[in-house]
Amino acid sequence: MEKQEFKGQIVDPIQRRIYPGTITVQNGIIESIREEQNDSSHFILPGLIDAHIHIESSMLTPYEFARIASTHGTVGTISDPHEIANVLGVEGVKWMIENGKLAPFYFHFGAPSCVPATSFETSGAQIGIEELEQLLQMQEINHLGEMMNFPGVIHDDPMVVQKLQLAQKYQKPIDGHAPMVTGEALEKYYAAQITTDHECYTLDEAEEKIKLGMKILIREGSAAKNFDALIPLIEKYPEQLMFCSDDKHPDDLIEGHINLLIARGLKLGYDFFDLLRCATYNPVTHYNLAVGMLQVGDSADFIVVDHWETMKVLETYIRGQKVAKGGMSVLPPLFFNSINKFNIKKIEEEQLRVPTQNKKIKIIELFQDQIFTKTIIDEPLVKNGYVVPDLERDYLKIIVINRYSEQAPAIGFVKNFGLKEGAIASSVAHDSHNIIAVGCDDKSLVRAIQGIIDTQGGILYTNDNELISLPLPIAGLMSDQNADWVSEQYQRLNKAVQKAGSPLTAPFMTLSFMGLLVIPELKMSDMGLFDGINFQLTELFDSSK
């Protein structure tokens, strides 16, 4: 590779200064940095890192994700392939690694720690001790993925203890997941050498974890948005924070990534170098990444922006190679063969009926831009001896059905989806990715679920007049198409669901989290309604007096 020179206003996050200079790059490495006057008004910054994301939730392959994320200045991620692992196990993790290698991008994949996430759901694969050790021995595996089985850590579950010991044996950082865990339980969790958490909702919760020594990942995804609540931490703890998206749907990714969080922080009056540190230096040092920090001898990983106050990315370079310019990827789109697991063929309307027991029922109450839920106990609407959706009170039927084998569907009710007609369904349902659906009537629910079965995965909305679908043939999680097409279809689906009455900004992402048992309070698995407070299955009908 020929010697390259880059002139501009150089932003040094380590020395916390901006100065005019020239960067010389040879064979993808920064050979020298000279401080000297030049005519360029552009600013050169280190490339940005998303400190925790599930690539699969973008519905894009790792390669396609890299094409889009790099246009916003992202050069690397800490990626937990937990989603595809729940469908395909080690085979799925290796598929992600190999696909990611096709792009000049820093994918730092973790070994999923909880597959299945709990014993209260059916996944398509398992990653036990033997499989986990196989992954942790791989050079491409950077860390142990988020330990979401926090009760197992706190109560010394033997399997969990073994997994943590394996990560320590291979000297891999351990990512955390401890929503609402405090006090002695939190101290026990941290003592297991789990040093990050991305599930904080309040300043008090985050500060308690920081004072123990944990790094807090400020999350701003498509469904879970904690930036506004947590960004004040940066004034006191800039060295303990990172930025992450966790889950990012394709239309949001096309609009921007970690660069938008820096710009938002600046508008709120926070220090630029503190914000930049959260997106560069902190994840690089915590995870021991090979990503360059604009220092002599570093890999030439940097971005050119019009001005640091706007964070509008003009160019992105990884190992000295230009990968994006003017908001467009330089990398060509590629298409990949499908890898999947679907063993269900048909659903009947009779399977969705709920005979009344003349009791109140437990209803999942969801909230805009959050993935936790609450529990409502109320009288159901009963017709002809069956409990049915109540559109006036917005009590809709929610279904989870095992996609890996023929089983009876699990049935519950949910509030705040807001649909007035039709149904939505998805094969993206954290964590095990069974089929999940919410609807106003059984006929629509059957049509929606059958549509997912027929395409072997995807997201879908249907009513009496139309059926709109985005197929996801790769593990039922990712599209084999380019990001623009996926984003267009996804936006079309969102608009249709919102036209049908839903007030949710990300209805399909929200739907996917209704199956996430490790986030309290009430969720749905293919085995039934789940109580996330007591960590056990619970009955739909309330038996309390």
Which CATH number fits the domain that encloses residue 283? Answer: 3.20.20.140
pTM score? 0.92
- Tell me the β-bridge partners of 147: 176
Judge if 284 and 419 occupy the same domain. Answer: no
Please identify, among 239, 256, 290, the residue that sits at the C-terminal boundary of a domain. 290
Q: Are 46 and 280 in contact (CB under 8 A)?
A: yes
Q: How many helices (H) and strands (E) does the chain have?
A: 16, 29
Judge if 218 and 362 occupy the same domain. Answer: no
Quick check: is 407 in a domain?
A: yes
Quick check: is 393 in a domain?
A: yes
Which pLDDT score, from 0 to 100, does residue 508 have?
A: 93
Judge if 173 and 255 occupy the same domain. Answer: yes
Find the domain containing 467 and state its range: 349-538
Quick check: is 509 in a domain?
A: yes
Judge if 69 and 199 occupy the same domain. Answer: yes
Instruction: Give the dihedral sign, CA 367/402/468/346.
Output: negative
Judge if 261 and 115 occupy the same domain. Answer: yes
Judge if 242 and 367 occupy the same domain. Answer: no
Quick check: is 117 in a domain?
A: yes
pLDDT one digit per residue (tens) for the chain, 545 residues: 689 999 999 999 999 999 999 999 999 999 999 999 998 999 999 999 999 999 998 999 999 999 999 999 999 999 999 999 999 999 999 999 999 999 999 999 999 999 998 889 999 999 999 999 999 999 999 999 999 888 889 999 999 999 999 999 999 999 999 988 999 999 999 999 999 999 998 999 999 999 999 999 999 988 788 999 999 999 999 999 999 999 898 999 999 999 999 999 999 999 999 999 999 999 999 999 999 999 999 999 999 999 999 999 999 999 999 999 999 999 999 988 889 999 998 999 999 999 999 999 999 999 987 888 999 999 999 999 999 999 999 999 999 999 999 999 999 999 999 999 999 999 999 889 999 999 999 999 999 999 999 999 999 999 999 999 999 999 999 999 999 999 999 999 999 999 999 999 889 989 999 999 988 899 999 999 999 999 899 999 998 76
Helix%, strand%, coil% for the chain, nearest 5: 30, 30, 40
- Tell me the β-bridge partners of 401: 435
Judge if 264 and 413 occupy the same domain. Answer: no
CB neighbours of 208 closer than 8 A, spacing ≥ 6?
Answer: 182, 186
Please identify, among 290, 314, 335, the residue that sits at the C-terminal boundary of a domain. 290
Judge if 222 and 82 occupy the same domain. Answer: yes
> Taking the C-alpha atoms of 501, 502, 505 and 508 in order, what is their torsion angle to the nearest 10 degrees?
-130
Please identify, among 275, 290, 305, the residue that sits at the C-terminal boundary of a domain. 290
Cα separations (Å) of 176 from 159, 173, 196, 209?
A: 16, 10, 5, 11
Strands (E), 100-254: 106-111, 141-147, 174-176, 196-197, 215-219, 241-244
Q: How far apart are CA 104 and CA 88, in angstroms?
A: 25
Judge if 355 and 282 occupy the same domain. Answer: no
Q: Are 259 and 313 in contact (CB under 8 A)?
A: yes
Judge if 429 and 534 occupy the same domain. Answer: yes
Judge if 270 and 356 occupy the same domain. Answer: no
Which pLDDT score, from 0 to 100, does residue 89 have?
A: 96
Quick check: is 23 in a domain?
A: no
Which pLDDT score, from 0 to 100, does residue 319 have?
A: 97
Judge if 275 and 361 occupy the same domain. Answer: no
Element (H, E) at 436: strand 435-439
Quick check: is 12 in a domain?
A: no
Element (H, E) at 443: helix 442-455
Region of 454 (left: φ > 0; alpha: ψ -120 to 50; beta: rest) is alpha
Among residues 75, 43, 40, 79, which one has the least CA distance to residue 61?
Answer: 79
Quick check: is 339 in a domain?
A: no
Quick check: is 64 in a domain?
A: yes
The pair of three-digit structure tokens given for residue 135, joined into one six-digit string: 């992954």
Domain count, the chain: 2
The pair of three-digit structure tokens given for residue 331, joined into one six-digit string: 């990398």
